[in-house]
Chains A and B, each alone.
Chain A
Amino acid sequence: ILNVEQSPQSLHVQEGDSTNFTCSFPSSNFYALHWYRWETAKSPEALFVMTLNGDEKKKGRISATLNTKEGYSYLYIKGSQPEDSATYLCAFGLTSGTYKYIFGTGTRLKVLA
């Protein structure tokens, strides 16, 4: 059974703090790794899609790294703001042609003003 694990499960930080989360996934049959932000009462919104080992993506204060050989990805938020409060999901895409994504249970981030 393929499993994607995210840690921590939840996190409270103060406004201005920097933080990071981890997504662990199987190191075999890797095709893509996605990060999504899911705010309460909204739809999950894609942040990044990464496909290459060593890939790094950046969007404003949020960045992500990928290590496919050891099966992990980090998501970093620099200078957290209250509007960053959301659940952050990662999804592991299996080998090309399967069109199937396995999601982790997410990291719930609360940024306190």
Chain B
Amino acid sequence: KAGVTQTPRYLIKTRGQQVTLSCSPISGHRSVSWYQQTPGQGLQFLFEYFSETQRNKGNFPGRFSGRQFSNSRSEMNVSTLELGDSALYLCASSFGRGDEKLFFGSGTQLSVL
């Protein structure tokens, strides 16, 4: 079956702009979670969606937001970009039970200039 698909793979933006990243989960998976990876840091949890509802969120400013559609696809939006937002953004999908493996996409590498 098809894996988790993230688009775009690479993105270059300037400070102050906004960006939208997309994540299509594995068919049948209803949970999508988002993570930020910066050099020297572990994967930082952003938020998790299940059946179009945000179930949990990490400690990120309100500039980071997300949503999930009825087909389980999810988008993440970052407004008013800052240099520190440059990172690899990964999404992961699962059935949403909480005790199962996460399946990760290849990520979107965001560079903010």
Residues of A whose CB lies within 8 Å of any CB of B are: 4, 31-32, 34, 36, 42-46, 49, 51, 89, 91, 93, 96-106
Interface secondary structure of B, over-half rule: loop
Residues of B within 8 Å of A, CB-based: how many?
Answer: 29
Which of A45, A51, A96, A103 touches B42 (beta carbons < 8 Å)?
A103
A99 to B98, CA, bound (A): 5
11 further interface pairs, Cβ-Cβ under 8 Å (given A43-B106, A98-B98): A32-B98, A44-B90, A51-B99, A89-B42, A93-B99, A99-B96, A99-B98, A100-B58, A103-B35, A105-B41, A105-B42
* Given A99-B33, A99-B50, residue A43 in contact with residue B99 (CB < 8 A): no
CB of B15 within 8 A of chain A?
no
* Given A99-B33, A99-B48, residue A89 in contact with residue B106 (CB < 8 A): no
> What are the 8 tightest A-B residue pairs by CB atom distance, in nearest-first order?
A46-B101, A103-B43, A103-B42, A43-B104, A105-B42, A44-B104, A100-B56, A99-B48
B44: nearest chain-A partner, CB-CB: A103
